[in-house]
Amino acid sequence: MSEPSKILILEDSRMSALLLVKTLQQEGFSFEHRIVESEAALDLALSESSFDLVLSDYYMPELDCGSALRKVRSKDSDIPFVIVSGKIGEETVVDMMRKGATDFVMKDRMDRLIPVVHRELRNIRSLRERQQTQEKLKRTEEQFRGFVSTILEVIPDGLLVLDGRQEPFLINASFHRIVRRYAAELGYSEDELRDLLIQRSLKQVETLQSPSEIGAIELRIERKAAPPEEDSER
């Protein structure tokens, strides 16, 4: 069973706020709510909790709707912010939507509020589930990277791991030592020898018929040919 949603209601009329609450409860929504009617109360609410949805009146003597929208967006840019108000000008609605409001519902069209709340709660839930999944994957990747790094560093042989783009993902210290030791001796820069080792390794792996054939690969790197000398003037 999912946890109840948290809804923040910005409304200076207690009766109107409770009507919103009752309307949503009658439709079977499972939610907790908090009603605020001033800027100070909004600041306190945002500092004390996080919310899944904001329902806001537009005309409030102690709380400017535009300012409230900015405060909410600064706390969490993803929170749906729905204006539920009486008649306001079309230009005002357009302006608020441009500033980041999610939707607008007239107070005399409360039937439209239900599908809007359904949609926004579903969207924010899906978004946060994706974000949690991405965070878990990131943590898992970091743990795996740390584990592999530890293993690589205790192996005396030079090893490297490539990612899906065939770019170096992890390189152990022994690999770096080998490159530093033999680069000048073979006539290469360290970057040239490293890239050559990677290219030769990939070329050999590509010739294998199946992953089960992968074992120790022996690479022979010839000394870099010296550039031809230019004929000296006689």
Architecture of the domain defined by 5-134: 3-Layer(aba) Sandwich (3.40)
Q: What is the pTM of this model?
A: 0.62
Beta carbons within 8 Å of 13's beta carbon, 6+ residues apart: 57
Percent composition of the chain: helix, strand, coil (DSSP 3-state, to 5):
50, 15, 35
- Name the H helices within 2-109: 14-26, 39-48, 65-75, 90-99
Q: Which of 117, 101, 97 is nearest to 25 (CA)?
A: 117
Q: Report whether pLDDT(73) > 50.
A: yes
Strand 103-106 and strand 81-85: pairing? parallel
Q: Quick one: what percent of the chain has pLDDT higher than 90?
A: 46
Strand 103-106 and strand 160-162: pairing? unpaired
The angle formed by the CA atoms of residues 46, 127 and 92, to the nearest 5 degrees, is 60
Q: Are 84 and 56 in contact (CB under 8 A)?
A: yes
Query: Domain map of the chain by residue range?
Result: 5-134, 155-213
- Report the DSSP beta bridge partners of residue 105: 84
Lowest average pLDDT, out of 49-53, 58-62, 130-134, goes to 130-134
Q: 135 versus 169: which is more confidently predicted?
A: 135
Which uninterrupted H or E stretch holds 59?
A: none
- Report the DSSP beta bridge partners of residue 170: 161
Which DSSP state fits 212?
A: G
Residue 114 φ/ψ, nearest 5 degrees: -60, -55
> What pLDDT digit, counting tens, does each position of 148-189 carry?
667 666 666 777 776 767 676 677 777 888 888 888 888 889
